[in-house]
């Protein structure tokens, strides 16, 4: 296990590890995942992940120090802790991992059966958990097609604490058809009472080619009115801030010092390497993605054969991405830092678009910082599209 000093003069890198397996596919999910509980398949996939990591390390291992690792999916907690340990061992053996690296793993509350499971994950090197609660209401969980019950969330959370985890995120979802504001308030209060270090709160997105989209198109469900969705969103911000959380990104709040370091890389245009089926990367101005075809991924014998597409960002690409991703952060964009990073004045590039958005009340500029207004948070996609 090679651990670097965080002060080492190398660029930092986040590593995302994609685990595509689930107990079953949720009705709203359009992520690259599928139902598979076969441990033999899990082992084969973990071996192929290690093969890819070894290949990628030959290119990036000596150029970067890894300060965040995120194991997502899918449902990573379907894999045995032994396989998670093997994947992390490969990363530590082949990359320069910082001593205080944030190592996150997503957990479905219905897939963990005891404190030993969490203890083994901690021993493997996982330092942060993201528990997919989504809701504490039985009717909402049934609607979403989740495999767990409300009681499983509190049990899972208690087991994680018992195992010694001190950095836990709870994922919540709101805006389901027929959901009431009082129900959402109750979910938030339950989550706040548990006192996790981080809470994510996402509005239900109805994506094409999901079972839920088909059910809505067939009239089985009626989407929640936008005004009700926005009431729920702003209540979440107010309730979380009152409870001492810092609202630091459109859909994320954390106790001071517990913002997701890995996700901040995405919103700050920092380098990250994605490994696994269909995983995406952004490194040194280049975006690339692995194949999303199972047999091609599992049959690749070198990392170069995995790449499905690649794009070299122009400076204009990087500038656009820096702006619309950076505006997701509540702190906004420091325009002096923008100039240092790109050697150009923000206003020379985006004066017309930005003034129009400010006149509409969607952006505010104060003390050299550009950020979304309260209205801009609600209409953020209308803001982002102006910078693409």
Helix (H) or strand (E) holding 27: none
In Å, how far from its chain's centre is CA 88?
A: 19
**Confidence at residue 5, expressed as pLDDT on a 0 to 100 scale:** 47
**Confidence at residue 6, expressed as pLDDT on a 0 to 100 scale:** 44
Residues facing 113 on adjacent strands? none
Angle subtended by helix axes 315-326 and 335-342, to nearest 10: 160
Residue positions counted in the chain:
388
- Residue 308 near residue 291 (C-beta atoms within 8 A): yes
pLDDT digits (tens, 9 = 90+) for 183-226: 999 999 999 999 999 999 999 998 888 888 888 888 898 999 99
Q: DSSP assignment, residue 135?
A: -
- Residue 380 near residue 328 (C-beta atoms within 8 A): yes
pLDDT digits (tens, 9 = 90+) for 216-236: 888 898 999 999 999 999 999
Domains of the chain: 3-267 (3.20.20.70), 315-388 (1.10.10.920)
Examine the pLDDT at 2 and tell me if it is beyond 90. no
pLDDT digits (tens, 9 = 90+) for 291-329: 999 999 999 877 666 888 999 999 999 999 999 999 999
**Confidence at residue 146, expressed as pLDDT on a 0 to 100 scale:** 87
**Confidence at residue 215, expressed as pLDDT on a 0 to 100 scale:** 87
| Rounded distance between C-alpha atoms, residue 186 and residue 195, angstroms | 14
Beta-carbon count within 10 A of 12 CB: 19
**Confidence at residue 1, expressed as pLDDT on a 0 to 100 scale:** 47
pLDDT digits (tens, 9 = 90+) for 44-64: 999 999 999 999 999 999 999
Examine the pLDDT at 101 and tell me if it is beyond 70. yes
- Residue 382 near residue 356 (C-beta atoms within 8 A): no
- Beta-sheet pairing, 252-254 with 198-203: antiparallel
Q: Average model confidence (pLDDT) for the chain?
A: 94
- pTM assigned to the model: 0.94
pLDDT digits (tens, 9 = 90+) for 246-282: 999 999 999 999 999 999 999 999 999 999 999 999 9
**Confidence at residue 206, expressed as pLDDT on a 0 to 100 scale:** 87
**Confidence at residue 83, expressed as pLDDT on a 0 to 100 scale:** 98
Residues facing 131 on adjacent strands? 107, 170
pLDDT > 90 fraction of the chain, expressed in percent and rounded: 85
| Rounded distance between C-alpha atoms, residue 43 and residue 359, angstroms | 56
Q: Apex CA 377: angle with CA 381 and CA 228, to 5°? A: 95
Structure tokens at 166: 């001190």
* CA-based R_g, the chain, Å: 21
pLDDT > 70 fraction of the chain, expressed in percent and rounded: 97
pLDDT digits (tens, 9 = 90+) for 115-144: 999 999 999 999 999 999 999 999 999 988
């Amino acid at each position: 296990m090679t651990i670097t000093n965080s002060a080492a003069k190398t660029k930092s890198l986040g590593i995302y590890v994609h685990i595509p397996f689930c107990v079953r596919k949720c009705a709203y999910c359009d992520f690259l995942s599928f139902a598979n509980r076969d441990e033999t398949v899990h082992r084969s996939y973990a071996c192929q992940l290690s093969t890819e990591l070894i290949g990628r390390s030959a290119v990036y291992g000596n150029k970067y120090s890894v300060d965040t690792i995120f194991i997502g999916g899918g449902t990573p907690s379907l894999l045995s802790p032994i396989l998670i340990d093997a994947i992390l061992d490969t990363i530590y053996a082949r990359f320069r991992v910082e001593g205080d690296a944030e190592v996150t793993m997503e957990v479905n509350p219905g897939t963990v059966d005891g404190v030993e499971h969490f203890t083994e994950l901690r021993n493997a090197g996982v330092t942060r958990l993201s528990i997919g609660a989504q809701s504490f209401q039985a009717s909402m969980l049934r609607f979403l097609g989740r495999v767990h019950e409300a009681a499983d969330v509190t049990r899972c959370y208690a087991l994680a604490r018992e195992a010694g985890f001190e950095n836990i995120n709870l994922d919540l979802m709101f805006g389901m058809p027929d959901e009431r504001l009082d129900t959402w308030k109750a979910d938030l209060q339950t989550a706040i009472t548990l006192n996790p270090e981080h809470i994510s709160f996402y509005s239900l997105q109805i994506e094409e080619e999901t079972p839920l989209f088909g059910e809505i198109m067939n009239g089985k469900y009626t989407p929640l009115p936008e005004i009700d969705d926005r009431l729920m969103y702003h209540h979440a911000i107010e309730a979380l801030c009152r409870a001492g959380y810092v609202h630091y990104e459109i859909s994320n709040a954390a106790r001071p010092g517990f913002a997701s370091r890995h996700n901040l890389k995405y919103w700050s245009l920092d380098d990250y390497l994605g490994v696994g089926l269909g995983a995406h990367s952004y490194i040194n101005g280049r975006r690339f993605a692995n194949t999303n075809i199972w047999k091609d991924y599992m049959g690749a014998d070198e990392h170069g054969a995995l790449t499905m597409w690649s794009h070299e960002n122009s400076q204009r690409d990087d500038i656009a991405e820096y702006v619309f991703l950076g505006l997701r952060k509540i702190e906004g964009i420091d325009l002096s830092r923008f100039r240092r990073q790109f050697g150009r004045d923000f206003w020379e590039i985006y004066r017309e678009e930005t003034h129009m958005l400010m006149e509409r009340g969607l952006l505010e500029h104060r003390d050299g910082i550009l950020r979304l207004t309260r209205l801009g948070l609600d209409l953020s996609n209308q803001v982002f599209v102006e910078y693409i």
